Homo-oligomer: A and B are copies of this chain.
């Protein structure tokens, strides 16, 4: 993982549709060595996958909400159970268990309020062990990147 690998990762995180010769020129390598490096990064698992990022508005998912959850019983198995349940919801795009007073945080991509209503009904029923939950709606997105700083 030298300087060139870092630069490749940075470039690929910004735009993975670039062709190999383009990338090679940008990092100052021959296309063949460049390709070898990229393949190595893939095989090492540093590059996990290549995906298409959609425009949420144009894909009909305008609403974004963040829900912080506090469970009734905080044991590891209860948190795991709740996370598993949340994970099964397509509208849940991120689900974490966290330290502190809050047990879990969910990030949601929603079509409308009805979808949120149905989802909260499923996740926060009596039997689900949820003590409290707080829903914050995203008003403005200052930044939203998949890019991890490297190097």
Binding site for B on A (CB under 8 A): 9, 12-17, 44-56, 58-61, 64, 66, 68, 79-80, 83-84, 86-87, 90-100, 102, 104-105, 109, 134-150
Contact = CB atoms under 8 A, between A and B. Distances in A.
A10 to B, nearest CB: 10
Contacts of A58: 44-46
Nearest to A115: B149
Given A13-B52, A92-B143, A93-B147, A98 B59 contact: no
A71 to B, nearest CB: 13
A50 B50 contact: yes
A149 B109 contact: yes
